[in-house]
Each structure stands twice: as structure tokens, then as C-alpha cells.
Structure 1
Amino acid sequence: MNKKEVYTIEEVKRKLERYCVYQDRCHKEVEDKLREYKLIPQAKEAILLHLFEHNFINEERFSKSFARGKYRIKKWGRLRIVRELKYRQISEYNIKTALKEIDEEVYTSNLYSLTEKKNELIKTTNIYERKKKLYAYLTYRGYEPNLIYEAIESYIN
């Protein structure tokens, strides 16, 4: 935090507007940021209300962009995305909406490319150890067990 310790409600409002405009934020992230300013509860509520009313915070928009970014860029699976959204206290409805953003072809190609890359990196020649390591890695990335088995079987026979 800056050297300046006391902020007016308007200053905090502007700072949080910039925080939300820079990147989609969920309610929990904004509340965590708001906690840094040590405001009284009424001021926090007024600022949150302002951010919601002016669409700076939009849980549905956040969950959709979060899901899109994580599966396209970080190549996360559905289970990991759901876990992370739940951690951020996103509603079940918004989680389901976010999962609709996932393109099935890209999702499957991500899984297979991760499987191929990881398979090349694993040093062991023991097939069972190799499968175990691949499975553990892909589970951590959040892919569904049935899809993981299919992908592993296609690379290791």
C-alpha cells in the first residue's frame, strides 16, 4: 500500500473502478482489495453498490472470461476451472454459464497436446509409472478421468 493511509470514499471508488476496468474481477477479489483501505462497513457497502450498479463488477462476465482464459491460455480442464470459480464464491448458475464458453474441440486438443508434451518429458521406461505420472499431471490440470484415460491410451499402448 502507498504511504498515504487515509483515502476519501471517492478516491477509493476511483481506485477500485480502475482495478475492475483493468481486468474482470469477481465480488470476492474486490472485497479483498477493499479490505486494504480499512473503511467503515457503510463506506464499503456504498462503494460495492456503486461498482455493481455501474457494471464494474459482473459475476457472469467474470466467470465467462475466467473460463475462456484458463482453458485457452493455461490449458486447464473443467474440474480445475470449477474448483477455482467455487473458491472465488461464484454461484452454480454462473459456473454452468462459464463452462458453456469452452469449445469442445479446443478442449480435447489441449488435453491431447498436454498429454503428448508431458509424455515426452517423462524419463521412465516403465509403462505403468509413465501412465501414473501422466494421470497425476492431467488430474492436477483439471481434466476428467475418463478423458485422461482415453488420451493416455492413445499415446501409450
Structure 2
Amino acid sequence: MQKTPKKLSVTEARQKIYNYCAYQERSHQEVKNKLFDYGLYASEVDELLSHLITEGYLNEERFAKAFAGGKFRMKHWGRVKIVHELEARGLTKNCIRIGLKEIDAGDYEATLLSLIEKKAAAMDEENPFVKRDKLAQYVIQKGFEPEQAWRAVKEVVPVKS
């Protein structure tokens, strides 16, 4: 049986949401959902959101930078997957573009090659065409651009003639 959450007062919700936002960067949508979970009304949520923004607790550009940089460095996500995830969180195209600037082009290429090399070393596949296909699928699924993925796969797994 699921408990219905207790409705918090605006003062209690304000303190909790300040702590929630201070802990790590959050998107506006995440904070809005959390405030509704606290049982606040739309007018109270909008008022608290505007306070959080003016006091610097919420900033979507800062969130986009932290999210894109973190997912790339920690989980080795490609740009495609990062963009898709940021769009799902309701960020604007401009914020997404700013967030993607956190990813250095050289690091991006090096990470792509490193992922392919590690995966290739762990594979038992003898047929180079099947191996290439599996490697390309792997890095494309991680969010790397298909053209870039295939170019890197062909560089790492050459076909011997």
C-alpha cells in the first residue's frame, strides 16, 4: 500500500527545495516536479521557482554545462545521447548548445577511440566486418554520431586484404 505524501507548508517546502538545489545542479523541470510532489499549488510552485532563479539556486545554462560535462566524463556518453537527455528535461536549444561546449573536441575523439579499442579487445569475433558492425553499434548506442563512429571503427579495426 502506497502512502500519500504529507502536504508541506510553503516555508517547509522552501527550505527542502533550497537544500535540494544546493546539493547539485537541477533543471527547472526537476525542481517543479519536486515541488508538486511536496503538495504545493501551481501559484506557490511558480513563486518558489522565481525565487530560486533570482537567488541563483537554479540556472539552466549551469545545469546544462554540469550535465553534459559529467555524463561525458563519467559515463562516456556521446553528444547525441546528451542532447536527447537534455531535451527530455525541457532545456532550450541555446542552453543545450552552451552545455555541449563543455566537451572538448580532442577529448571527445580520444574517448571514442578508447571505447572502441577497449570493446574490440574484449570481443572474440574473428570476422572483421561483423566486429566492425558490433563496435559501431556499441558506440552509436552510447550517443556518438554514426559517421564519426564508423570512421573511428574503421581506423581501429582495419580489414586485411
Aligned to 2:117: 116
Cα distance, 1:4–1:36 mapped onto 2, change above 3 Å? closer
Structure 2 unaligned runs (5+)? Answer: none
* Structure-1 residue corresponding to 2:140: 139
How many equivalent pairs are there? 157
Contact 2:27 2:59 in 1 (8 A): yes
CA distance in 2, matches of 1:4, 1:149: 50
Separation in 1, partners of 2:92, 2:157: 39
TM-score, length of structure 2 as denominator length: 0.91
Match of 1:67 in 2: 68
Structure 1 outlier segments of 4+, above 6 Å: 1-4
CA distance in 1, matches of 2:133, 2:36: 43
Structure 1 residues 126 and 4 mapped into 2: Cα distance closer, same or farther (>3 Å)?
A: closer
Aligned residue for 1:37? 38
| Cα shift at 1:55 | 1.3
2:60–2:91 contact (8 Å) kept in structure 1: yes
Q: Which amino acid aligns with 2:152?
A: A
Name the % identity. Answer: 37
Residue type matched to 1:54 in 2?
E
1:23 alignment partner in structure 2:
24
Distance 2:116 2:5 in 1: 50
The answer for the alignment partner of 2:12 in structure 1 is 11
State the AA in 2 paired with 1:110: T
What is the TM-score with the length of structure 1 in the denominator?
0.93
Say if 2:6 and 2:39, in contact at 8 Å, map to a contact too. no
Residue 153 (structure 1) aligns with:
154
Aligned to 1:47: 48
Q: Which letter does structure 2 place at the counterpart of 1:139?
A: I
Aligned to 1:97: 98
| RMSD of Structure 2 on Structure 1 (CA) | 1.7
Cα distance in 2 for partners of 1:4, 1:30 equals 17
CA contact (8 A) 2:7 2:40 kept: no
**Distance (Å, rounded) in 1 between the aligned partners of 2:119 and 2:129:** 15
Instruction: Assess if the C-alpha contact under 8 Å between 2:71 and 2:77 holds in 1.
Output: yes
User: Structure 1 residues 59, 2: closer, same or farther in 2, change over 3 A?
Assistant: farther
Moved more, 145-154 or 15-24: 145-154
Structure 1 counterpart of 2:56, which letter? Answer: N
Letter in 1 for 2:38: Y
Give the AA of the match of 1:15. K
